Amino acid sequence: MTIARFPTTVLDCPDPAVLAAFYGEMLGWTSDVEDDWAEIRADNGQSLCFQKVEHYTAPEWPSGERPQQAHLDLMVDDLDEAEAAVIALGAVKHEYQPGTTFRVFLDPARHPFCLCIS
């Protein structure tokens, strides 16, 4: 018996519309934005949501002083091309890069995410 369907990830942030635009553009998903909540959705039903949090404090990675709690690994065909594209959308490449098959970035709310070779 299935109890639930379509699990999603919700990221806390200071401005849901900004993150919905950022990830929606990167993934080519449609967005639905309300005041304190935004959702992006793929044609197949996958979704990612963003929730406004007053006094949001960004994670500090890799120190763990303020843990990342969760992060996204996004598969790409070409790391260099994908890096240029996400930076153009507003991502920042993290100074610490612990591997060679993936790269760590910070989204506009400073959540870490990785672009990984698929």
Q: Which residues contact 36 (CB under 8 A, 6 or more apart)?
A: 16, 51, 52
Residue 116 clears pLDDT 90, i.e. is over it:
yes
With 0.95 as the threshold, say if the pTM is over it.
no
Q: Which residues contact 3 (CB under 8 A, 6 or more apart)?
A: none
Fold of 9-54+64-117: 2,3-Dihydroxybiphenyl 1,2-Dioxygenase; domain 1 (3.10.180)
- Encoded tokens for 60: 């500090």
The pLDDT tens digits of the residues spanning 8-17 come to: 899 999 999 9
Would you state the pLDDT for residue 12?
93
Domain boundaries, the chain: 9-54+64-117
- Encoded tokens for 57: 């404090």
Out of 3-7, 20-24, 101-105, pick the least confident: 3-7
- Encoded tokens for 70: 């969760």
Element (H, E) at 26: helix 16-27
